Structure 1
Amino acid sequence: MAHPGAPGRGFRRAARRVRPRGRGPRPGRGGGVSVDQGDRKGFVPPPYPYDLLDEARAAAAALPGGAVDLSIGTPGDPVPDVVATALGAAVDPARPYPPSVGSADLLGAVCGWFDRRLGLSLEPAAVGVCVGTKELVVGLPQVLRLRDPGRDTILYPAVSYPSYAMGAELAGCRAVPVAVDAEWRIDLSAIDEADAARALGLWVNTPGNPAGALDDLAAAAAWGRERGVPVLSDECYIEFTWDGSPRSILQHGTDGVLAAHSLSKRSNLAGLRVGYYAGDAELVHYLREVRKHQGFMIPGPAQAAGAVALGDQAHVEAQAGRYLRRMRLLVELLAGLGIEATLPQGGFYLWVAAPDGDAWGLTRRLAETLGIVVSPGEFYGPQGSGHVRIAVVAPDDRLDLVAERAAAAS
């Protein structure tokens, strides 16, 4: 009989299917299904990481009450009432195409938020909107390469959101991971100057996904300016900064930097796809103009609801309190199983070292004992192996069920 902490054969197969990022795609391996490419040598999508968790989901679903999915950072709490009201009031079948760059109300709300929360004075012309942050993250390398065809490289933290690397690959660029330090912060000193000379951009992420670390954004901005490399700062978890005040790379000047933000995490609006960006004036203008031609538009009602969401801080503070309570609960529950976890500096993920270094084994154990589905750390890069990421996004009643299971297991 297999050891309770050892992954089953299905888990081991899934682990082997996760391709380390930063390398070229494997021909004929799209979505985990054999594909006859014939004479074509083009890009074939690798398996989507979260599609590899079917066995864990099945094990968790077998428990009374079913699976509690904590593998993906999709907020599970309700849309704030003030936003739901605004969304309903904004529906108009005769409404024309919404502005690609963002409505005046939404751009004004973005500028107001930057002023109130970060003390930054921005003009609406220095801001643009995107159809959720992921769309911007994945699409930026292509646009940056059009802007600077002499360069071909995207730099990104070695343990990070998988879309940084995938965006580079989809644009035909080199995706080059940058090592992170013992605290999971990007190590700028590890960047090869030969790669920097070819770089279209450097991604940083504060608070970070998956580990919740806070990068030195002043140092990142200075690094990019010294080398003429745009620094792209993913700040979608900024409202959930636990160690100190929210921080943005824009607080260190806008030249040569771009900050990306989202209402998906902040306001539980993942389904509306409302994101925005701000920073270097020339780069923001370029993006706004290119995106007009691409036809990217946030639906008008979503823009109206987004403007209202940005003007209301009460629902954000309430959500932050929920996430902190849930993380503390899970830290306690894991300790009862002999698994050490600590609160992050920011974000709503617990980044947990597997006691024996076997992340897939821990994934199976948590599915079978607590009924929760978590993500093995290698989804976020090879340096993340040996860890799992737990997203505290399930509603409180579902986590109460997890607590009951933990009590029965201890």
Structure 2
Amino acid sequence: MNPLIRSLHPYPFQKLADLLNGLQPNPELPLIKLTIGEPQHEAPSIVIDTLKKSLDGVSKYPATKGEARLRQAIANWASNRFNLTSLDADTQILPVTGTREALFAITQALVGEKDQPLVVSPNPFYQIYEGAGILAGAELHYLPCNAENHYKIDYKAVSDKVWQRCELLFVCSPNNPAGSVTTLEEYEYLINKAKQYNFTIVADECYSEIYFDEKPLGLLDACTQLGNPSFKNCLIFQSLSKRSNLPGLRSGFVAGDAELLAPFLLYRTYHGCAMPIHHQDASVTAWSDEAHVSLNRDIYQRKFDQVLEILAPVMDISKPEAGFYLWPKLPMNDETFCIKLYEEESVLVLPGSYLGRDVDGHNPGTNHVRMALVAEESECVEAAQRIARFINKHNKPL
């Protein structure tokens, strides 16, 4: 067995299951889960219809590179969404079976050229970043997203010794869990560092279409504005899971630097993860329609407005720039908060410390929880009312 597997951490949801083992929620209240970021809104009917009509595709082997019609639909969407003047559907786009497997796979493909390679990750983070780095044989270097810095990373505080060893930098924008967005100025700094020290910026942008005011900036958009039209050293990862409420379709794409995507395609031909043709057809429909995405944003907007109206008076909480998570700072330990809230109010949230790592004795997720507002609107409001009641009961508002 690969000895690096022993270095992997349990997934946050396994930690939560272990934490609550033997405990019971309040039997007088139905359980409301705000833990997993799995969209619960209805999948768009036009996509389901296409999927049903395309089932004869199961009789064919799909190409790893994907059908030309899918790559062109993605190119059209990305060019319109991110104001791109040039995006080649043949060389700069590769469909993937969900961003989770693709983020893992790109790390295996890119890491290993430098001595003592580093994978640089935000902290807290989506745990696939860490696991991918570990199994690629890299050391992880974590960049804190602290409340003191409004949950943004201070990239200019990172030493050149770190950038010199860096082979891959994960940027999550909009950020999971805090919902912050990387700015053009920050991307300019990172792109210059990537060129100087020859590392790849991997931008996880799967929450980019759930926003409330301004459209979040994308990495390829930043490249275009900053005079990097070939997207050198830059890749974005996008998904239909959050945008279109299609997590089970396992459909996304990676786009950017053609010189990186060519060997990545070769890697994937051995990896064996081509998207089924009927999923590709359904994906063409999804990427070609914005009406269902706009409706989806409206639903999240209503949920956030109602939930924050209830929680803001009793918690240190604010609306994210984008995404569907709330990331409040707590008046008590995050594990204690989760246990007591589960037992007393039958609401399940995720301890923030499970999403981060201790660096120099500090875990930036400590005393936070992540709340995913993915349930029905009425359930989210009911959960917020219970949380407010819980905090008032313990008489510890911030």
Equivalent residue for 2:347? 372
- Residue 70 of structure 1 and its aligned partner are, at CA, apart by 0.9
Q: Partner letter of residue 279 of structure 2?
A: A
Which of 341, 347, 366 aligns to 1:385? It is 366
Q: Partner letter of residue 155 of structure 1?
A: V
Shift in alpha-carbon separation, 1:193–1:268, aligned structure 2, 3 A: same
Asked if the contact 2:208–2:215 (Cα under 8 Å) also holds between the matched residues in 1, the reply is: no
Which of 5, 8, 11 aligns to 1:48? It is 11
SS where residue 297 of structure 1 aligns?
coil
Distance across 1 between alignment mates of 2:105 and 2:24: 35
SS where residue 128 of structure 1 aligns?
strand
Shift in alpha-carbon separation, 1:61–1:92, aligned structure 2, 3 A: farther
- Residue 260 of structure 1 and its aligned partner are, at CA, apart by 0.7
SS where residue 254 of structure 2 aligns?
strand
Asked if the contact 1:118–1:246 (Cα under 8 Å) also holds between the matched residues in 2, the reply is: no
Point out where structure 1 has 5 or more consecutive residues left out of the alignment: 1-36
SS where residue 235 of structure 2 aligns?
strand
- Residue 266 of structure 1 and its aligned partner are, at CA, apart by 0.5
Output the TM-score relative to the length of structure 2: 0.86
Equivalent residue for 2:375? 394
Q: Partner letter of residue 12 of structure 2?
A: P
Which of 107, 114, 117 aligns to 1:152? It is 117
Equivalent residue for 1:257? 234
Residue 245 (structure 2) pairs with residue 279 (structure 1): no
Which of 96, 103, 110 aligns to 2:67? It is 103
Q: Partner letter of residue 365 of structure 2?
A: G
Shift in alpha-carbon separation, 1:404–1:42, aligned structure 2, 3 A: closer
Distance across 1 between alignment mates of 2:21 and 2:81: 39
Output the TM-score relative to the length of structure 1: 0.84
SS where residue 327 of structure 2 aligns?
strand
Distance across 1 between alignment mates of 2:21 and 2:217: 36
Equivalent residue for 2:360? none
Asked if the contact 1:331–1:340 (Cα under 8 Å) also holds between the matched residues in 2, the reply is: no
Q: Partner letter of residue 328 of structure 2?
A: V
Distance across 1 between alignment mates of 2:385 and 2:354: 29
- Residue 133 of structure 1 and its aligned partner are, at CA, apart by 0.4
SS where residue 353 of structure 1 aligns?
coil
SS where residue 124 of structure 1 aligns?
coil
Distance across 2 between alignment mates of 1:178 and 1:287: 26
Asked if the contact 1:57–1:373 (Cα under 8 Å) also holds between the matched residues in 2, the reply is: no
Residue 105 (structure 2) pairs with residue 139 (structure 1): yes
Distance across 2 between alignment mates of 1:404 and 1:341: 15
RMSD over equivalenced CA pairs, Å: 2.3
Distance across 2 between alignment mates of 1:327 and 1:56: 27
Shift in alpha-carbon separation, 1:223–1:376, aligned structure 2, 3 A: same
Residue 301 (structure 2) pairs with residue 324 (structure 1): yes
Which of 81, 88, 108 aligns to 1:117? It is 81
SS where residue 208 of structure 1 aligns?
coil
Residue 158 (structure 2) pairs with residue 191 (structure 1): yes
Q: How does 1:168-207 map to 2 (within 5 A)?
A: 168-180=133-145, 182-207=149-174
Distance across 1 between alignment mates of 2:4 and 2:116: 21
Distance across 1 between alignment mates of 2:265 and 2:239: 17
Equivalent residue for 2:359? none
- Residue 373 of structure 1 and its aligned partner are, at CA, apart by 1.1
SS where residue 264 of structure 1 aligns?
helix
Which is further off, 377-386 or 41-50? 41-50
- Residue 405 of structure 1 and its aligned partner are, at CA, apart by 4.5
Which of 336, 339, 354 aligns to 1:361? It is 336
Point out where structure 2 has 5 or more consecutive residues left out of the alignment: 357-362, 393-398
Note the alpha carbon deviations across 1:266-297, whole angstroms, 9 max, x for none. 01111111010111110011211211121111
Q: Partner letter of residue 169 of structure 1?
A: I
Equivalent residue for 1:288? 265
- Percent sequence identity over aligned pairs: 30
Distance across 2 between alignment mates of 1:365 and 1:154: 36
Distance across 1 between alignment mates of 2:95 and 2:66: 6
Distance across 2 between alignment mates of 1:70 and 1:60: 17
Q: How does 1:190-269 map to 2 (within 5 A)?
A: 190-216=157-183, 217-251=187-221, 252=223, 253=228, 254-269=231-246
SS where residue 52 of structure 2 aligns?
helix
Shift in alpha-carbon separation, 1:375–1:247, aligned structure 2, 3 A: same
Note the alpha carbon deviations across 1:93-130, whole angstroms, 9 max, x for none. 65311111121121111101012211213111210011
Shift in alpha-carbon separation, 1:404–1:205, aligned structure 2, 3 A: closer
How many correspondences in the alignment?
369
Q: How does 1:324-343 map to 2 (within 5 A)?
A: 324-335=301-312, 338-343=314-319
Equivalent residue for 2:128? 163
- Residue 56 of structure 1 and its aligned partner are, at CA, apart by 4.8
